[in-house]
Amino acid sequence: MGCETREERRETGSSAIGECSPSPISRLTSHAQQGFTLIELITVIVLLAIIASIGSSFVVSSTESYQQVQSRAKLVNKSRQAMERMTRQLRGAVPNSMQLFAANTCIKFLPMASGGFYLNPVPDNANGAAASNSIASAPYRVDFGSARYAVIGALINTDIYGGGASATLTSPLAEGTSQGGGGIALSSNQIWTRNSIERRFFLADNPQAFCVVGNALHFLQGNSLGWTPSGTGTLMAQQVTGNFALQAGTESRSTIVDIDLNFTEGGETVNLQQQVTIRNVP
């Protein structure tokens, strides 16, 4: 028996006992037509806002972390390049030519241009031989820079910069120059402080220096043995602090240069420490 409508009951006079309740489909359709309440909409909006806030915070945090890692990687790379350059050039310095200046924030050295062995003892304070402006030597070649000075028997830096273990050449020898017949011509007669134990000589270019000036690392070049590093030269890195230390060598021990520098950029700071050994072969 089907369900009667209200109109059909009125016509037939039947009671409402057999009236059917609305079907589930009718209720769903009715509810769908009503839509969401204001409270439901506000709840959804609040939940979406919370989720968006958490998600955006995660994205921002991830981005900042990535940028910090990238900045630190660039800073480490830049500082290592500066350290490698200093290490390479200091290792090629004439033994016992290092000097410290400006409260140990600047290190001066003589870059080696060539080297070899001389054949006969040179005049020195011990043998009393007459001063001479020439040195007989084995063949040699200038491989780095220009050769401007000869150095023999230096045990401390004052031997070189005081003149007792160094002499100026008659004229500079350019890079690539070969002296097949040997021989070194000096600009004046020279009496040396001492002979080299192994009769070894070094040829050097004008002095150079690495200096921390105004919170920046600079490379400077001088024009004479008596040059004192000052001013700024070639900029190597900015926002740098630190200093150098020197452990002087002896006849049986190499010179050691300690480098301790702080490199800063974008709120990140990297401290690099390096020991450079300069072989002492007087």
Q: Are residues 160 and 95 in the same domain?
A: no
Kindly report, residue by residue over 47-80, the tens digit of the pLDDT: 888 887 777 776 666 666 766 677 778 888 989 9
Closest CA to 271 of 247, 242, 244, 235: 242
Is 5 a domain residue? no
Decide which of 91 and 20 is more confident.
Answer: 91
Residue where a domain stops, chosen among 154, 181, 205: 205
CA distance 203 to 149: 6
Is 7 a domain residue? no
Q: Is the pLDDT of residue 199 over 50?
A: yes
Q: Is the pLDDT of residue 30 over 60?
A: no
Q: Are residues 181 and 213 in the same domain?
A: no
Does the reported pTM lie above 0.85?
no
- Per the prediction, the chain carries an average pLDDT of 86
Structural domain for 237, as ranges:
34-109+207-282
Q: Are residues 222 and 273 in the same domain?
A: yes
Is 2 a domain residue? no
Kindly report, residue by residue over 131-181, the tens digit of the pLDDT: 999 999 999 999 999 999 999 999 999 999 998 999 999 999 999 999 988
Mean pLDDT in residue range 28-44: 69
Residue where a domain stops, chosen among 190, 205, 220: 205
Measured torsion, CA atoms of residues 280, 257, 149, 233, in degrees rounded to the nearest 10: 170
pLDDT band at 251 (very low <50, low <70, confident <90, very high): confident
DSSP assignment of 7-40 equals: HHHHHHT--STTPPPPPHHHHHHHHHHH---HHH
Is 277 a domain residue? yes
Instruction: Give the chain's domain count.
Output: 2
pLDDT band at 10 (very low <50, low <70, confident <90, very high): low
Q: Are residues 200 and 218 in the same domain?
A: no
Token pair in block for residue 129: 């031989």
Closest CA to 149 of 181, 92, 198, 188: 188
Is 17 a domain residue? no
Q: Are residues 139 and 100 in the same domain?
A: no
Q: Say what the pLDDT of residue 180 is.
A: 84
